[in-house]
Amino acid sequence: MNIISITDGYNASASLMIDGIVVLALQEERFNEIKNYTGYPFQSVKYCLNYLKKNNLKLDKAGMASNHQNPYDQKVKIYQNFKPNDFREWWRNKIQFNYFVEKKNKKIKMIKNVKRNKKTIEYLKEIRKKYTNKPEYHDFSFLNDKTINKPHLEIELYNRVRIKTFCDQIGFDEKDIEIIDHHTCHAYYAYYSSELNGKDCMISTIDGGGDGYKQSLWTVKKNNFKLLTKNNSCPIARYWKIVCVLLSLKPHEHEYKVMGLAPYSKDKYTDEVFNSMKNLCKIKNYDIEENRIYQKNENVNSMYDFFEKKFSNFRFDAIAGGIQKYTEYLIVKYIKKILRKTKLKNFVGSGGLYMNIKLNKVISEIKDIKNIFISASAGDESLSIGCCYYLNRQEKSYSMKNIYIGYREEKIDLKKISKKLRIKKIKNTNEIVQELIDGKIIGMFNERAEFGARALGNRSILARPDLKDTVRKINEAVKNRDFWMPFAITIIDKFHKKFIFNPKSLKSPHMTMGFNSIEKNLKHIVSGTHPYDQTVRPQILEKTSNEKYYDLILKFYKKTKIPALLNTSLNLHGKPTVNNLQQALYTLMNSKLDSLIINYKYIIKKR
Ligand SMILES: [Fe+2]
């Protein structure tokens, strides 16, 4: 059975499954170079269709993740265009789209015949006029003065547009498209793509919101999925968005920067923030809920105002430390409770909150957790994969053994390469190893791109991990990254325990888990650890996952006794990870990278 699925919201993507195996997963941002692109993933779908054509295959099923998308968000591209002040204005004015309402049984219902307030109408008219993005694939003319006070109609009309665009491209009938709920896609991705596929497990999904919900909890026992809860009450991922704006960062994108900042805060100040957050939420049965009383007592208009009033007198690092500590405290408490109730010992998670590798680290340290697996890129970009798994639920589905399932440059044509570059054929990978030993910073452009937020060897920048100066050098050469952010490492599985504390032998093939480093060997991987708390976010590499990359690190190990390389994504600051050869060469030309390796066959340098 051949299945194509898309997600057309934040960080849009398309995936292709053939007989239960995910063979392609592509993010639209890689094609159009708009980071976290929100909209219809036209080029990703096109790539999947070309693959089917080349392999003489026909589509059997097609799905879309998320029952609804917010048409204003998509037209205005809020998360791409808004600056922190725009978010402040939006939240302070309590702009209500009024698409959904929560019923007593926690089910979300689409609102019918509810009018918007005057302030919201004025605001929507204003942003509609201000952000005139060039027309892409959807016709947004239905967002007009006639529909501005009919939210349910906007959603209905937009769904017709969404489905039509997809059908037109893949040649399906509208009635044959299956639309799958947002958190169901998160849950199916978390479980089926993981190493725990086939085992009894609990599945938690938490995000900033999808189809009106922010959290779900499932169990899988003897291959039977059971939904225990789905709610709109869990606010924790939303707190992260608010903290981003409070720190003048971009919500939905820069949460990882807050996480990276957190360890710098001194315990005393972290605790001050943490203590004032401690009672914000409560756990009721399977749900995380907000104690709204705290907001009421502060006499504030919105949650953003509440955070500003409570925390703006704290220093930036203390706020980061506080939200990280509170998240860990709340979620660990929640999971412990669920483990007791369900008697399960395996855990998988998905949704934006589980992009937090420090949170995943503390979950893994819960005594009763036997195994935790967080698949690559737990944010909305993986919804299209989850949708494929859901549509294949009657058949056998396989976990994702590797995630090198992105774009591949079919023909490496170096004839037209710029005269400013020189090409050399590689006789032996020892040549690459020698460059690394010499302290060079190398771009890697190999075979199929890896899916998701992390570069895992095929679209990576590599360097030796034992030189403290490497961080500064990479930052100056290409990244211009925030000075407080750590780099990561790829480490060979059979040697990793000498460097990384991993008593439960957890797998971390996709850089989704945090670990403590082992102090006596820290100096060998120091530039790939967090500069302050020395934790590490490793890709623990097995040979079967990426043989050539594994062999390269093994050769480096034989000469240096270090079985690891510093690994960061191949991209210029602010751009998505490189997809095609042209982008890779552009990156080399416009940075201080020492060289670019192509398919382990060519080494390209500037003249
Ligand atoms: Fe989500």
Q: How far is the centre of ligand 1, averaged over its atoms, from the C-alpha of 282 (Å)?
A: 22
Distance 9 CA to ligand 1 centre (A): 9
- Ligand 1 mean position, distance from CA 66 (Å): 9
Q: Is the pLDDT of residue 100 over 80?
A: no
Q: How far is the CA of 251 from the centre of ligand 1 (A)?
A: 14
Examine the pLDDT at 122 and tell me if it is beyond 70. Answer: yes
- Rounded Cα–Cα distance for residues 526 and 516 (Å): 12
Give the pLDDT of residue 95. 84
Please list the residues that pair with 61 across neighbouring strands: 3
Note the pLDDT tens digit of each residue in 18-30: 999 999 999 999 9
- CA terminus-to-terminus distance, the chain: 50
Residue 303 scores a pLDDT above 90: no
Q: Is 182 helix (H, G, I), strand (E, B) or coil?
A: helix
Q: Ligand 1 center to residue 223 CA distance, Å? A: 24
Express each pLDDT in 437-454 by its tens digit. 999 999 999 999 999 999
The whole-angstrom separation of Cα 309 and Cα 303 is: 10
Position 294 scores a pLDDT of 64
The Å distance, Cα 349 to ligand 1 centre, comes to 12
pLDDT in tens, 486-544: 999 999 999 999 999 999 999 999 999 999 999 999 999 999 999 999 999 999 999 99
Q: How confident is the model at residue 110 (pLDDT cuts 50, 70, 90)?
A: confident
Separation of 383 CA from ligand 1 center, angstroms?
Answer: 8
Give the pLDDT score at 104.
66
How far does residue 596's CA lie from ligand 1's centre (Å)?
A: 35
CA–centroid distance, residue 427 to ligand 1 (Å): 46
Residue 416: pLDDT band with limits 50, 70, 90: confident
Distance 558 CA to ligand 1 centre (A): 43
Residue 295's pLDDT is 66
Q: Residue 229 to residues 183, 214, 220: CA-CA distances in angstroms? A: 11, 11, 14
Centroid of ligand 1 to alpha carbon of 27 (angstroms) = 15
What separation in angstroms does the CA of 488 have from each of 5, 190, 512?
A: 31, 23, 11
Reported as a single tens digit per residue, the pLDDT across 41-56 is 999 999 999 999 999 9
Rounded to the nearest whole angstrom, what is the distance from the C-alpha of residue 298 to the centroid of ligand 1? Answer: 30
Mean pLDDT of 285-302: 81
Q: Does residue 479 register a pLDDT over 70?
A: no
User: Is residue 190 scored above 70 in pLDDT?
Assistant: yes
Between CA 351 and CA 207 the distance in angstroms is: 5
In the chain, ranges of CATH 3.30.420.40 domains: 194-374
588 burial type by CB count under 10 A (0-12 exposed, 13-18 middle, 19+ buried): buried
Lowest mean pLDDT among 103-112, 172-181, 409-418: 103-112
| Dist. CA 327 → ligand 1 center (Å) | 17
At 332-372, the pLDDT tens digits run 999 999 999 999 999 999 999 999 999 999 999 999 999 99
For residues 258 and 244, what is the distance between their CA atoms, to the nearest angstrom?
7
Q: Start-end ranges of CATH 3.90.870.20 in the chain?
A: 421-606
- DSSP collapsed to 3 states, 261-272: HHHHCCHHHHHH
CA 466 to ligand 1 centroid distance, Å: 37
pLDDT at 472 over 90: no
User: Which percentage of the chain shows pLDDT scores above 70?
Assistant: 98
Residue/partner pairs of 73-76 with CB below 8 Å, 24 or more apart: 73/9, 73/38, 74/8, 74/9, 74/38, 74/39, 74/138, 74/140, 74/158, 75/128, 75/131, 75/133, 75/140, 75/143, 76/127, 76/128, 76/130, 76/131, 76/133
- pLDDT given at position 520: 96
- CA–centroid distance, 214 to ligand 1, in Å, is 8
CA of 204 to the centre of ligand 1 (A): 12
Q: Is 403 exposed, middle or buried (0-12, 13-18, 19+ CB in 10 A)?
A: buried
Match 């998509």 to its residue by tokens: 74
What is the structure's pLDDT at 133?
73
C-beta separation of 555 from 537 below 8 A: no
Top-level CATH class of 421-606? alpha beta
CA of 391 relative to ligand 1 center, distance in Å:
18
Residue 3: φ, ψ to 5°: -125, 130
Q: What spacing in Å lies between the alpha carbon of 159 and ligand 1's midpoint?
A: 18
Cα–Cα distance, 108 to 212 (Å, whole number): 6
CA of 212 to the centre of ligand 1 (A): 10
Helix spans in 312-373 (H): 316-342, 357-364
* Distance of alpha carbon 488 from alpha carbon 502, whole angstroms: 16
| Domain 194-374 CATH assignment equals 3.30.420.40 | yes
Does the reported pTM lie above 0.85?
yes
Average pLDDT, the chain: 93
Residue range 542-589, pLDDT digits in tens: 999 999 999 999 999 999 999 999 999 999 988 999 999 999 999 999
